Structures are given as structure tokens and as C-alpha cells.
């Protein structure tokens, strides 16, 4: 199928620039949620992930939501999907990746952009208890994880449809943009990520001395530098370059065998052009929607005082279209 948005994206007046879209969306999205229950999924290696979930009626669709780098189930873009699912009478489960639920995880390792195993286990649990179709939407890092999962599972993918919003399909290029961007905004994005990543890393070293080089971690001033000394060795990669090559979803999009919406903005301030690989258009299972504006996980329409979050609405509309056959 080829999905056409239900309406064109028109940025809210005053929020036409990529940084305005990105920052405004990150601070104004409401975070109220339907009644949720917190569930802990223990993992085979002794660690855990925490889930926030609610059920729909028998036979109702169920949406699994994956957050972005240093996000959580409380991120505004996640809660927007949860509210949309509840409004439709669907169920939903928001995954908190390891270390992202407000409680440190048990092992030195945490999560990364190509880490699909935990999400697959969660999806298997969800599939076992629901009676309707399962769907999934990922944002930013979580969108890359979702696409890697779909690529790895192919015809055996556990969902009937998926949506990928603002995914960094080329992780190497994403880091070049974040680390080398000429504007002060790129410094702001980079420092925001590094602040929380390093805070968690310090706590890890206190619990697991020698897990990585703490001096080099403190000296890292770029995302690539951090990934080189922390993310890569903790997750079995030689270095950041090896990690980015193995974890990037872009080169393998041809392997996806479920209807999947790839939604991004050409002006995404965290991604280099092309933000969606041109090869994505060769896979008939993929619906590519590339807007001219929208920033990174932004897509704020309506007005500043009454914002409308277009990307989340289109992801849910895409699911409705798939389910309608």
C-alpha cells in the first residue's frame, strides 16, 4: 500500500523553523496519560525493562511504542500515541529501554540504537495476551530500533504494521550532524544528551568499576566520543564506527516485510540529507512521507496556543488504513 497523509503538514505560525519545531514540541506536548499499569519484564541475562500499559477490549488493536535517546514512556510523543490509542478503544504498551524507567538497570550494559532483543521479547509477551492485531511506532532512536527489528524478522515480524518517525537511518551521519553542526542549537542538543548519558555512566562506574574508561568518558565532548568509549564496548562493538555500521537501519530497509510508514522532515536538524534513504522507495511495503518542515520529532501544526501533533496523528491514521484493508 502507499499511504497518503490525511492532510498536508502546515507548521504552526511562528514555528516554521526546524529548531522551533523540535524544541517547542519537546516542551509543550501534554504528558497526561490514560490509566496505566507498570509491569516489569525480567530478561534472560538477569536485567529488566519496565513497561507502562493498558488493555483494550477483546479483539482490539494494541500499539507498542518505542521512545528515543534518553527518553521514556513519559515523553510527550509517547503519551500522545497512548492517548490516541485509548481514544480509538485500542490497547497500548510503552517500553522503557534499560535504564530509562527511572530506576537503574542491573547490568553494565544499557540500550542502543540497534538493540532489538528486548523489544522482541516484550512483543512476544504482548502477542501472547492480546487477541487483536499488534502495531508498533518508534520515535528517533526507537524508530531505528523498530526498523532493525522489522528487518531482522522479515516475514516473521510480530506486528501487522509499523510507523517510524524521525529515525536516524544513518547513525554515522546523524552523529556528524549533532557533533559538527554549526549552530548553537546543535551544541544544545548534544549537551542535553551527553548530560544524562554521562550521569548514568558515572553511576555505572560506581557499581561496576572498570566497565569502561571513566577518564575518557569524562573527556568526551561529542556523541561519537561517548559512543566510542561507553556505548560500543558495553554492547560488544569494536568502536563507534563499528556500532554505527551494524546498528543503522538504512542499509537494510529492503528487508522489511510489513506495511511501514517512514515519516521524516527534510529539515530535521539532527540528520543529514537525505534523511530517508532513496532506496526506501523501492520496497513496496514502505510508505515514505517526507515533509519539507517539521524538525526532529516536531511536526507541530495548529497554533502555538492550540498545537496539533501531526506526526502522531498520521501514524495512527496509517494504522487505521492498514487495519481497514
Residues belonging to the active site: 140, 268, 296
DSSP 250: G
Measured torsion, CA atoms of residues 10, 14, 20, 22, in degrees rounded to the nearest 10: -30
| Diameter of the chain measured on Cα atoms | 55
> Please, which residues have CB within 8 angstroms of residue 199's CB and are 6 or more apart in sequence?
none
Query: What is the C-alpha to C-alpha distance for residues 95 and 10, in angstroms, rounded to an integer?
Result: 30
Region of residue 38 (phi > 0: left; psi between -120 and 50: alpha; otherwise: beta)? beta
Query: What is the C-alpha to C-alpha distance for residues 262 and 285, in angstroms, rounded to an integer?
Result: 10
User: Which helix (H) or strand (E) segment is 198 a member of?
Assistant: helix 184-207
Q: What residue has cell string 526507537? A: 142
Strands (E), the chain: 37-42, 48-54, 62-66, 91-96, 134-139, 161-165, 260-265, 286-291, 300-302, 307-309
Amino acid at each position: 500500500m502507499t499511504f497518503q497523509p490525511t492532510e498536508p503538514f502546515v507548521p504552526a505560525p511562528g514555528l516554521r523553523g526546524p529548531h522551533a519545531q523540535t524544541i517547542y514540541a519537546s516542551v509543550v506536548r501534554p504528558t497526561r496519560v490514560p490509566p496505566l499499569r507498570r509491569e516489569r519484564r525480567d530478561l534472560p541475562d538477569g536485567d529488566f525493562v519496565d513497561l507502562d500499559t493498558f488493555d483494550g477490549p477483546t479483539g482490539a488493536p494494541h500499539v507498542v511504542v518505542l521512545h528515543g535517546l534518553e527518553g521514556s514512556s513519559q515523553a510527550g510523543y509517547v503519551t500522545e500515541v497512548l492517548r490516541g490509542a485509548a481514544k480509538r478503544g485500542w490497547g497500548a504498551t510503552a517500553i522503557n529501554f534499560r535504564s530509562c524507567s527511572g530506576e537503574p538497570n542491573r547490568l553494565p550494559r544499557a540500550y542502543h540504537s540497534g538493540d532489538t532483543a528486548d523489544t522482541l521479547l516484550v512483543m512476544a509477551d504482548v502477542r501472547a495476551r492480546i487477541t487483536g492485531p499488534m502495531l508498533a511506532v518508534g520515535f528517533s532512536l526507537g524508530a531505528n530500533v523498530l526498523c532493525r527489528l522489522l528487518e531482522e524478522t522479515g516475514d516473521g515480524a510480530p506486528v501487522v504494521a509499523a510507523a517510524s518517525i524521525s529515525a536516524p537511518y544513518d547513525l554515522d551521519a546523524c552523529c556528524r550532524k549533532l557533533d559538527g553542526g554549526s549552530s548553537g542549537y546543535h551544541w544544545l542538543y548534544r549537551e542535553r544528551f551527553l548530560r544524562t548519558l554521562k550521569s548514568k555512566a558515572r553511576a555505572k562506574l560506581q557499581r561496576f568499576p572498570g566497565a569502561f574508561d571513566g577518564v575518557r568518558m569524562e573527556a568526551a565532548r561529542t556523541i561519537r566520543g561517548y559512543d566510542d568509549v561507553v556505548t560500543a564496548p558495553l554492547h560488544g562493538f569494536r568502536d563507534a564506527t563499528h556500532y554505527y555500521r551494524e546498528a543503522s537501519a538504512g542499509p537494510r530497509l529492503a528487508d522489511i516485510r510489513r506495511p511501514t510508514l517512514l515519516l521524516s522532515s527534510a529539515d530535521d536538524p539532527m540528520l543529514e540529507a537525505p534523511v530517508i534513504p532513496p532506496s526506501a522507495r523501492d520496497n513496496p511495503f514502505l510508505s515514505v512521507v517526507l515533509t519539507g518542515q517539521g524538525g526532529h520529532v516536531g511536526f507541530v501544526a495548529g497554533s502555538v496556543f492550540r498545537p496539533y501533533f501531526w506526526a502522531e496523528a498520521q501514524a495512527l491514521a496509517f494504522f487505521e488504513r492498514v487495519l481497514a484493508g
